[in-house]
Structure 1
Amino acid sequence: MQNPHQPVYFPNLNGVRFIAAFSVLIHHTEQIKYLMGFENNYGNFFIKNMGKLGVGLFFVLSGFLITYLLFSEKKRRGDISAKDFYIRRILRIWPLYFIIVLLGFFVFPAIPIFNEPLRDQYYFDADFFKRLPFFLLFLPNIGFVFYRSPYLCAQTWSVGVEEQFYAIWPWIIKSKNPLKTFIKLLVGFLTILGLIWLYIFKISDFTEETKFKIQEGLALFFSQFRILTMMIGGIGAYLVFTKKEKILSILFRKDVQIIVYAILALMLGTGFHVPGFNMEFYGFFFCFFILNVSQNPNSIIYLEQKIIHYLGKISYGIYIYHPAVIVLCINTIHYFFGDGINHQLFNFILYPTAILLTIMVCEISFRYIETPLLKLKDRFNR
C-alpha cells in the first residue's frame, strides 16, 4: 500500500519537463542573439514559436499534475487542505522566483557582463518602482500590459500565471461539484468582462486612441493569461483519475499515437497557427502526449533515460536562470572574439557553453536551495 505522504510519481514527466525547458532555452538563445545584433535564426517560424509552445507544454503539465493531486487528496482525506497546498507551492516556486526577480531588477543591470540592449529602457527609469510591485505580487503578466519589464526576469510572466491559476483551482476542486462551480465562475467572469467591454467601447467617451490602447493591452494580457491551457491539463487528469477507460483506450492505441504525433509534427514543421486560441489548440495535443507517456505502458515515446530524467528534475531552474546565462555567454564570447567570429563558430561555442553553464547553475541551486525546501515541502503532502 502506498504511503499517503509519498508524492505521486508518473513516469516520463521529467522528460516532458526537459522538452519544455529546452524548447524555451533554444528560443531565447536565438531571440537574445537577435536583440543583441548577432547573426541568428530567430526569424525561423519554428524557433520563433518554440518558446510559446514550450511554455504551453509546461502549463498543460502543471494543470494535469495539480488537478490529479487535488482529486487524489480529496478522495483520500475527504477534503483538500488549502493551507498545505499553498505552503507546498510557496516552498517550490517562491525562492527561485524572487531570486531571479531581485537579480533582474537590481543586480544584473548593474554588472556590465550582463548588459543587454533593453537594459536602458527599464533600469531605474521613471517607471521602475511602478513595475516592481507587479513582480512582487506575482502579477508580472499584468505588469507587461503597462510597462516594459527587465528582460532577464521577464520569463517569470508564466510563473505569475501559474500562481493565479493556483489561487482559484484548489477551491474549484474542493467544492462539492467542481464542474458546476467552474461553470458558475466562468459565466461570472465572462459577464464581468462583457460589461467592461460594453462600458469601454460603447458607453464611455474615451477617445479612439485610448480605446485602441486598451484593446492592445487586453489582447496582450489574454495572449499570456493561459489558465485555459492549464485547465486542458486538468481535463486529462480527470480522465485518468476517474478511469475513463473507453476514452483512454482509444487515445492509447498505437495507430492513434502515430497519427496524432504525425499531425502534430506536420503542424509544428509548417508553423500552423490558430488565431486567438493557438495555445489551447496545441494544448490538447500536449495533453494527449502527457497522457500517453505517463499512463500508457504501450506508449511509442519513452523519456525515462537517466540524463533526460535529471535535466527534467532541474527544469524549473533551467527555465528561471537560462536568459541570464545566455547573455553572460554571448557577452563573454564577444569580448574574446570580437565582431570577426563567424556564425557557425559562434554557435559552436555558445550553445554547449550556455547549456553546460546553465546546468551547473541549476545543479547548485537545486542542491543548496531547492532540495532543502523540497524536503520541508514533503511534510505538507497529504
Structure 2
Amino acid sequence: MSGEAESVPKKAYLYFANLDGIRAIAALMVVLSHIQLHKKLQGIQHQDLIDFKNFGKIGVTIFFTLSGFLITYLLLEEKKRFKKVSFKAFYIRRILRIWPLYFLLILVGFFVYPAEGSMHALWLSLFLMPNVAFCMKLLPNIFDPIWSIGVEEQFYIFHPHIFRQKKVQNILYTLTGILIVLVALNLTVRYYQYQSQFLLNLDLFLYFTRFDDMMIGAIVALLYFNTKNNCFTFGFQSAFNLLLNKYFQMALAAAFIAFICLFVHKEIGQGDLIISAFSALMMVYLCEPGTTNAFFGNKAVAYCGKISYGIYLLHKYPLMLMLYIVRNYIPPASTFWQTIILYLGTIVLVVLLASVSYFGFERYFLRMKSRFQKITSNKLAATNAA
C-alpha cells in the first residue's frame, strides 16, 4: 500500500450502440405522422397503405422513455465511477446539447418564418415552457415540435437531484413513488375531466407533460444498472434477467408490434404508458455489450439517429415546402404520385436539413459539451483522460 488515495479517472467509457437506431425510428415516426396529417389538411386525399395517424404519439413516447432511461443510467454510472454527480457539468451538457438549436428555431419561427405567434407563446418558449403554449394552441404548427423540448428541460430541473441519495435502492423507491403519484393524478383527472373546464385543461396539460414516460425509462434503467452492479436485491430480479434473453426479447418485440398495430387504429387510454414500458424493456437488451441488431445497427439508421434532434425539430419546414410543390406542380388527379413524391421528398429534405444543422451548427456546441462529459462513448478519450 502506497498510502495515496485511489485516483479517480477523469472520464469513463460507456457506449450503447443501438440507441441511435431507436432515436432514428422515433424521429421518423413523428415525421411520417405529420406528413399524413398535413397531407389531409391540404386536401391530398390519396389513401395511405399504412395509417400513420398515431405514429407521432408513439415516436414521442419512445423519445421520452429513452431520455429517462439514458439520463438515469449515465447519472448512476457517474455516481459509481466518480463517487458523486456533478450537477454543474450535467446542466452545462444539457444546455449545450439542447439550447442552441431550440433557441435558433424560436428565433427563426417567431421572427423570420413564419414570423407568427403571440407574445405569450414567445415568452413561454423563451422560459422553456413551450408545452404550456402548445396546450393553449398558441404555437404556430410549423415549429410546434418544440413543446416536447420544454418537457425534457423541465424534467432535467429536478431529476438529477434524486441521485443525491447514497443508496441506489432509495433512488428506486423515489422514482417509483413519483411514477405512482403521476399515474394516479393522470387517472383521477382523466376520470373527472368533464366536470369542469379547469380539469379538461389540466388533463390536456398533464398529457403534454410526460414525466411518467420518462420515469418508466428511469426505473428500468436503474434495474438494468443493478444487474451489472448488484447494488441491492429485489423480488423480481430473476424475472428482470429474462430481458437479457434474446428469445424472450423476440416475444416482447412481437407483443410490442401487435400493441402498436392496435394503438395506431384505436387510441387506448394511458396507452403511452404501455408503449413506454415495452420500449424501455426492449432497450435493456439493445444496450447489452456485443448485441448486434441488423436493423438498429444499420449505418443509415444509426446516422439518422445521430442527427435525430434536427430531424425532429426541423422536419415541418421541408414538409411545408414539399406540400407547396405537390399542390402547385403535381396534377390533382395524380393523387398517388402526389403522395409518393410528398413522402419521399420530405424525408430526403428532412435528412439533408438535419445534416446541415448537425455538421454546420450543432457539432460546434457538441465539441464544447464533450469537455464536460464524465461518461464518454469514445474509448480512446476515456483511456487518455485516465
Determine if the TM-score, normalized by the shorter chain, exceeds 0.5: yes
CA-based RMSD of the aligned residues comes to: 2.9
* Other-structure match for 1:344: 336
Q: How many Å separate the matches in 1 of 2:295 and 2:48?
A: 30
1:73 to 73, 78, 85: 78
2:96 to 91, 96, 109: 91
- The answer to whether the Cα contact below 8 Å between 1:314 and 1:363 also exists between their aligned partners in 2 is yes
Q: How many Å separate the matches in 2 of 1:300 and 1:361?
A: 27
CA shift at 1:322, angstroms?
Answer: 0.5
Larger deviation: 309-318 or 211-220? 211-220
Structure 2 unaligned segments of length 5 or more: list them.
Answer: 1-7, 229-236, 375-386
CA shift at 1:249, angstroms?
Answer: 3.0
* Other-structure match for 2:371: 379
SS at match of 2:111: helix
Amino acid aligned to 1:279: D
- The answer to whether the aligner puts 1:152 opposite 2:152 as a matched pair is no
2:19 to 10, 13, 26: 13
- Sequence identity of aligned pairs in percent? 35
Query: Structure 1 residues 335 and 188 mapped into 2: Cα distance closer, same or farther (>3 Å)?
Result: closer
Q: How many Å separate the matches in 2 of 1:248 and 1:224?
A: 30
* Other-structure match for 1:120: none
Q: Within 5 Å, which residues of 2 pair with 1:1-382?
A: 4-5=10-11, 8-39=14-45, 41=47, 46-109=51-114, 123=116, 128-176=118-166, 177-182=170-175, 212-243=196-227, 246-271=238-263, 275-295=268-288, 297=290, 302-337=295-330, 340-382=332-374
Amino acid aligned to 1:135: S
Per-residue CA shift, 1:10-50, capped at 9, x if unaligned? 02111111110110110010111122222255896x41110
CA shift at 1:302, angstroms?
Answer: 4.7
Normalised by the length of structure 2, the TM-score is: 0.82
Structure 1 unaligned segments of length 5 or more: list them.
Answer: 111-122, 202-207
Query: Structure 1 residues 258 and 300 mapped into 2: Cα distance closer, same or farther (>3 Å)?
Result: farther
Q: How many Å separate the matches in 1 of 2:165 and 2:218?
A: 15
- The answer to whether the Cα contact below 8 Å between 1:61 and 1:287 also exists between their aligned partners in 2 is yes
Q: How many Å separate the matches in 2 of 1:133 and 1:350?
A: 34
Query: Structure 1 residues 366 and 212 mapped into 2: Cα distance closer, same or farther (>3 Å)?
Result: same
Q: How many Å separate the matches in 2 of 1:6 and 1:365?
A: 28
Query: Structure 1 residues 6 and 76 mapped into 2: Cα distance closer, same or farther (>3 Å)?
Result: closer
CA shift at 1:54, angstroms?
Answer: 0.4
Q: How many Å separate the matches in 2 of 1:275 and 1:305?
A: 32
CA shift at 1:243, angstroms?
Answer: 1.3
CA shift at 1:170, angstroms?
Answer: 0.2
Normalised by the length of structure 1, the TM-score is: 0.83
Query: Structure 1 residues 41 and 80 mapped into 2: Cα distance closer, same or farther (>3 Å)?
Result: farther
Q: Which has the higher helix share?
A: 1
